[in-house]
Amino acid sequence: MKRSLFILATSLWVILAVAVFTRTWFAVDQSRKISPEVLATVPFAQEAGSIAYSLSAGHGFSAPFRKDTGPTAWLAPVYPVFLAMLFRLFGAFTLHAFYAAAALNILFSAAATIPLYFAAQRVGGIAVAGLAAWLWAIFPNAFVIPFEWIWDTSLSALLGSAILWATLALPGRRFRAWIAYGLLCGLSLLTNPSLGALFPFLFVWLAFQQRKSPGRWFHRPLLAAIVTILCCLPWTIRNYNAFHRFIPLRSNFPFELWLGNNEVFDSESRNVMARVTIYGEVRRYVQLGESAFMDEKWNKATTFIATHPKLELHLTRDRFVAMWLGTPHPYRDFLASDLFLARISLLANAVVALGTFIGIVLLSADKNSLAWPIAAFPALFPCVYYFTHASLRYRHPADPVLLLLTAVSLVAAYEWIVGKTRGKLEKGTKLP
């Protein structure tokens, strides 16, 4: 009976069904509380929705704020193209288009269970695999984000999970597997360029692992890297032709840097802005054009950072805390919130942050050779957001890996407790 229950509890298909159910249940529940008019428009009232509308209307990859401002590289192309196809099928800014986009996000998010399960199985066996997949199935971030963010976030989580699984499985494989890995990395960069922070480290680790293989060890990692670059090259060429400057993937980093580093945060500034408004920034973007707008934001952000070193330390600390707990003031916000889901989310992310750290320590202490590529996700992926602005949404592509590390920690804690209990029982049953 125990073995049957264990097999059922660690069944990938059971866990996958639960993952689909939790995400669908949340989406249906929230849809009942929000008017159809809001659902048809508000989720698309952002850059991805605007660019998708431009594509669906035949105007090309342009107009990130739904104004005729010409070509843009504000976002990487993959997710807006997905949305544009949905707009063509179901109509732009319609309720059916929203349902289709939310359903697609749910499928992306639930599908991340599969590579997570197999990656975790390589790391710690079936128990770690089952627990990591269960954690992902019921993790608050994972069932809230597919509905609340019509963005590349859920697709990026699937790609992040797939990258880890492929990286762990790749050493010793044939050339075609390395080509497929390069295609996966290229697709990831064209979806969420922030994932690129992982690739230099992962490619170096893979090259190191290949030293044990016969022949020239660097050929296959080099092949995968070349395929990755070739995947992105057409988009980079398009950006150069459109803007006459080198923009490998997306152009909006200066704006994101400025959002987290501007005079709003300086209470002693004589030129302090009341607040950052969408209307004001869109108006400035239309006046200057994308390239000049980004140049202005870069100059303002770097000047602010250089002239406010002490404040920057405080802001970086707040962004670090917000990246891992969802808010720079978790204790205060936990007490102030009257929403059950908000409190559960804070507690869950606190457990995951602790579990991630302990998991890295345990794998490293055990001299597990897979510790390094796994640790790259929490160590490297969030770094850019410590300097720009942070939220749980931005961390989400790494969440499956964080839950894997948390599962490692929980399984180790369980085994330690069981071992201690058995030791006490054996000691208590010894004859005098």
Give the per-residue SS3 of the chain: CHHHHHHHHCCHHHHHHHHHHHHHHHHHHHHHHCCHHHHHHHHHCCHHHHHHHHHHCCCCCECCCCCCCCECCCCCCHHHHHHHHHHHHHCCCCHHHHHHHHHHHHHHHHHCHHHHHHHHHHHHHHHHHHHHHHHHHHCHHHHHHHHHCCCCHHHHHHHHHHHHHHHHHCCCCCHHHHHHHHHHHHHHHHHCHHHHHCHHHHHHHHHHHHCCCCCCCCHHHHHHHHHHHHHHHHHHHHHHHHHCCCCCCCCCHHHHHHHHCCHHHCCCCCCCCCCCCHHHHHHHHHHHCHHHHHHHHHHHHHHHHHHCHHHHHHHHHHHHHHHHHCCCCHHHHHHHCCCHHHHHHHHHHHHHHHHHHHHHHHHHHCCCCCHHHHHHHHHHCCHHHHHCCCCHHHHHHHHHHHHHHHHHHHHHHHHHHHHHHHHHHHHHCCCC
Angle in degrees, CA 332, 333, 337, rounded to 5: 125
The two tokens of residue 344 are 């559960």
List Cβ neighbours of 384 (8 Å cut-off, separation of 6 or more): 194, 197
pLDDT, tens only, 100-154:
999 999 999 999 999 999 999 999 999 999 999 999 999 999 999 999 999 999 9
**What's the pTM?**
0.94
- Reported as a single tens digit per residue, the pLDDT across 323-367 is 999 999 999 999 888 888 889 999 999 999 999 999 999 999 998
At 360 the pLDDT is 96
Per the document, the length of the chain is 432
* Residues 6 or more apart whose Cβ sits within 8 Å of residue 158: 108, 109, 111, 112, 115
Sketch the domain layout of the chain as residue ranges: 2-428
Q: How far is CA 125 from CA 184, 270, 352, in A?
A: 25, 59, 20
Q: What percent of the chain has pLDDT over 70?
A: 95
**Average pLDDT rounded to a whole number, residues 274-286:** 86
Q: Give the model's confidence band at 274: pLDDT under 50 very low, under 70 low, under 90 confident, else very high.
A: low
| pLDDT tier for residue 174 given thresholds of 50, 70 and 90 | confident
pLDDT, tens digit, 9 for 90 and up, residues 180-193? 999 999 999 999 99
Q: What is the mean pLDDT of residues 387-403?
A: 96
Question: How far lies 166's CA from each of 122, 173, 202, 398, in Å?
Answer: 11, 11, 11, 15
Banded pLDDT at 26 (limits 50, 70, 90): very high
Copy the structure tokens of residue 267: 């209470």
Angle at 263 between CA 258 and CA 269, to 5 degrees: 160
